[in-house]
Structure 1
């Protein structure tokens, strides 16, 4: 008799659990919650703001990138020359040149790290500006279309729920 009594409670518990799990889904369907999805990477890559960002960053960093490339080529050429001339150089001259090349290489690596850090920082800053404007556009679209939730990067998106192209158009038309 006791066993029957506990299995009854387990059954009631399972029914209650299933009800609680399905409640949010049923509520969303009943109320008519509208959900849309946006692909933020597409916005960051295809909007006019993103293209302008790429141009600004390219203009800002191209000279430094070319200087680093030139420095690397000079060090490589100097290392090749040292390899060719090492047999006819004195031991002291060879060791001195090797140290100079090692110092130059360390300096180049330091400059390359700084370049990468600066580029990453500027890219982050520019993307933050785009994200701020995109969020304003998303809010406007949500209010206009009475969308309750906008999700980024969903695993699956029905084309009717994807508002990415609309966001890009709105960003391109905004000033």
Structure 2
């Protein structure tokens, strides 16, 4: 082929692509914002805080007890027998704190994942509904940058609040 034919073919392909691109409808949802602002997500976090609040308070109590014991151990006039006893007690408090903290973290993360899995299914269904009603070709949930004109997050938040 001659260069002019290549140029014509490339220009034709570019024009055809541009015509298709005009019909292409794109949207974007900031899922992190949905997790922070959607009423159902806030309700999930409130339930989790209530469920795990007592265990967090227990950890705070252990932490306060540990600080109190540490403060006693730095006293210069503390007899050796008391120092050893307090050190053993502090070691026990630290072990207890670490074990309970790890258990709390694991349990909380598991429950959070369970709760948000159901919420994410509901959010994804709402995104599909928005896509069908608005005739979107593509809706993204994760991107480095998206122009605000494509942002459908507010629309999704309203749909989830209903």
TM range (shorter): 0.7 to 0.9
Candidates 111, 117, 132, aligned match of 2:106: 117
RMSD (CA atoms) = 2.9
| Structure 2 counterparts to residues 1-175 of structure 1, below 5 A | 26=18, 28-29=20-21, 32-84=23-75, 87-89=77-79, 91-173=80-162
Q: Distance in 2 between matches of 1:97 and 1:127?
A: 43
Return closer, same or farther for 1:29/1:45 CA change in 2, 3 Å cut-off. same
- Normalised by the length of structure 2, the TM-score is 0.82
Q: Distance in 2 between matches of 1:28 and 1:110?
A: 59
Output the CA distance in 1 between the equivalents of 2:78 and 2:41.
56
TM-score, structure 1 as length reference: 0.76
**CA deviation vs aligned residue, 1:6-50 (integer Å, no higher than 9, x gap):** xx9xx9xx98xx89x9699547416x2211111101111111101
Structure 1 residue 104 displacement after superposition = 1.8
Task: Count residues with an aligned counterpart.
Answer: 158
Task: Report the alpha carbon displacement of residue 83 of structure 1 after superposing the two structures with TM.
Answer: 2.8
C-alpha displacement at 1:154, in angstroms?
2.7
Please state how far the C-alpha of 1:143 moved relative to its aligned partner.
0.9
Larger-Rg structure: 1
Gaps of 5+ in 2: none
Q: Please, which runs of 5 or more residues in structure 1 have no aligned partner?
A: 1-7
